[in-house]
Amino acid sequence: KKKKIQQEIKMSVWGKYLATGPDPREVESFSYSKKYLVAANLKSTVDKAKLQKIIKEYNSAGPIPAWVEAVFCPPSLYLEEALKTMRSDVAIGAQDCSANGYGAHTGEIAAEMLKDFGVKWVILGHSERRTNQKESSELIATKTRKAIDAGLQVMYCVGETLEEREAGKINAVVLDDHMAALKGK
């Protein structure tokens, strides 16, 4: 059982993607100046012991190809642990940031704080936050501007629900709502 879990962790790292390389249809036009982002979002699925185990697996996973930028996004409570123990060629990202800067915003983490702490990336607009926290595209666009202004790189998530897809509303959701909110930000 332990060996199976280790194999699953290795494959969940970036093993599957890195083992196969770029899509064979892209090889002729493939340029090493183009980077592929491979990011792990741990969501709220780990405790400290499990996080340390995953980081240990990442740290022993072998070299990351030049055409890959690897990012590891643990829950915010574990950002410090990841920053201290993750191998140096894997950037650390946060799973969210505040739409506000420094100030009296209980429970919020300002983008400037993340940057100051050593975080390089932030995930914004994840479907779970759009659904569960009712985050609007306007709010996410504001967070995106704050993150960019603070010097963070942003993974801006867009996408439609299954119901929206089945109703043929992909463009209305992704282009007219999610992406349009970024205009002027």
What are the structure tokens assigned to 36, written together? 């592929």
**Under 8 Å between Cβ of 57 and 6:** yes
Residue 156's CB is within 10 A of a number of other CB atoms, namely 19
Quote the Cα angle for 141-133-171, to 5°.
Answer: 50
Give the pLDDT confidence of 103-133 residue by residue, as tens digits.
999 999 999 999 999 999 999 999 889 889 9
Lowest mean pLDDT among 105-109, 125-129, 166-170, 181-185: 181-185
Average per-residue pLDDT for the chain: 85
pTM for the model: 0.79
Question: Does the CA dihedral 18-20-23-26 come out positive or negative?
Answer: positive
CA distance 3 to 134: 40
pLDDT tens, residue by residue, 15-64: 555 555 555 555 455 555 678 899 999 999 999 999 999 999 999 998 99
Rounded-to-integer distance, Cα 185 and Cα 181, Å: 8
